[in-house]
Structure 1
Amino acid sequence: MDVSTILEASNITQTFRSGDHQLTVLDQINFTISSGTTCAIVGPSGSGKTTLLGLCAGLDRPTKGDIKLNNVALGPLSEDERAEVRNKYVGFVFQTFQLVPTLTALENVMVPLELRGQKTEDVSEEAIELLTEVGLSDRLQHYPSQLSGGEQQRVAIARAFINKPKILFADEPTGNLDAETGATIEKLLFDLNEINGTTLVLVTHDLSLAKQCKRTIHLKNGQIEKDESSSPVKMEQINN
């Protein structure tokens, strides 16, 4: 894998047993993604988008094929070793936010670095900086139940960026938000991507969100139907 490549999927096939039948969710998927780029994975429900995202992040193993993440082959690794790779290189943003309800916004953002064994006082400073950057300096001690959906997603984005990931995976990051809040979150994701030089790979049904990416991979029936590169369209251009 070239040094400028952050992610490589080679002949990825994923099958599941459903009763007496074998269901093929992904069939011979091949692509590489360059460091620092933005890539959308789109397709109808059931096309395998979220399954593919999970495999790329090392959350599951493909039935066949190989994934390389930051030049690390995930196939031979144990679950603990894959978790270590994720902790070092990967950030996640989910549709359902995935915040710990018993932790404050500040504590939620601190979790990834505390898992690395870093000192609480050092982690706290970085978390406060990130929460301030996403506009939540006055929400540090609020629990998820005290935050709006958009605020919870901002906390999730701050948490995703605190370990300075080389690649950020986002699964329908605006799926549970209204249009105005979703647009704010989209801008935040792309701004932080550009500032930090992080590769952004997102799954979405929203074609206007996909158009803001430099590349779009279209899935259909578990296969790549189309793989296209384009000049990103900014949200303000879409709205005009």
Structure 2
Amino acid sequence: MDNFILEVNQLRKTFISGSKELTVLKHISFNIKSGTSCAIVGPSGSGKTTLLGLCAGLDQPSSGSVILKGQNISTMEESDLSEVRNRQIGFVFQSFQLISTLTALENVMVPIELRGTPYREVEEKAINLLNEVGLGDRLDHYPNQLSGGEQQRVGLARAFIHQPDILFADEPTGNLDGETGAQIEQLLFDLNEKQGTTLVIVTHDKTLAEKCERTIELKNGQILADSLPSNGTPNPVEATVAE
């Protein structure tokens, strides 16, 4: 039996713009196996970030479904969805999304503090992760005291602290220079491999996409191509490619 962690079925998303209906995603279907890495690429306006948000339970589709670990998250009540996001999903944002009034350590602690986990246990996990991403000497620094690369390292530690089953990253190196971006990419894949997390990345960065086991290319809200980026071996996951 195929071990799919994420199943996207005939996903469609529309928005109302003035008096017109704008269709951003059109009948998107694909499955992703647990423990794999997948890049979602395509030009601006192709629907990449919208698709990522739907898969992560940050928004609801106009039609179709998103099945995460056997649960249809596209029809869940917000209270149940919040629980799924807190326990099973990690997210890394292009703009870091750190809380400005919290230190690096406190920012990393937030996801599992919300579970009611004992403070010392949360603190120990957060310190260990910040050491792993090279910020052991920045625990008490606030976001405005950190560089962009350091803020994204905090973001990575926060995303991984609750050991999510799947991690979604939206342009994780988009606001960083080339050298810093490369360091963040390496950390992302190192942490991913260590924890066995499924990784789904939206990116314009061809080099980052090529590091993933699979690439899904979107154009005009449809899947244009679905492939392994560097060789011709059979794709380990199935997908429906739009005509």
- Scaled by the length of structure 1, what TM-score is found? 0.94
Which aligned segments of 4 or more residues in structure 1 are displaced greater than 6 angstroms? none
CA distance in 1, matches of 2:143, 2:26: 39
Please name the residue that 1:80 is paired with: 79
Give the aligned length. 231
3-state SS in 1 of match to 2:10:
strand
Deviation at 1:3, TM superposition (A): 5.8
CA distance in 2, matches of 1:230, 1:109: 33
CA distance in 1, matches of 2:25, 2:201: 17
CA deviation map 1:179-202 (0-9, x unaligned): 000000000001111111100100
CA distance in 2, matches of 1:64, 1:108: 35
Please name the residue that 1:146 is paired with: 145
**Letter paired with 1:183:** A
3-state SS in 2 of match to 1:36:
coil
Please name the residue that 2:234 is paired with: none
In structure 2, the gaps of 5 or more residues are 232-243
Deviation at 1:208, TM superposition (A): 1.1
Aligned-CA RMSD value: 1.1
3-state SS in 2 of match to 1:213:
coil
- Scaled by the length of structure 2, what TM-score is found? 0.93
Q: Superposition pairs for residues 63-78 of structure 1, below 5 Å?
A: 63-78=62-77
Deviation at 1:231, TM superposition (A): 5.0
CA distance in 1, matches of 2:21, 2:57: 23
* Preserved CA contact (<8 Å) 2:60 2:75: no
CA distance in 2, matches of 1:146, 1:66: 42
CA distance in 1, matches of 2:58, 2:33: 21
Give identity over the alignment, percent: 65
Q: Superposition pairs for residues 1-240 of structure 1, below 5 Å?
A: 4-231=3-230
Deviation at 1:70, TM superposition (A): 1.5
CA distance in 1, matches of 2:223, 2:63: 16
CA distance in 2, matches of 1:22, 1:113: 40
* Preserved CA contact (<8 Å) 2:102 2:142: yes
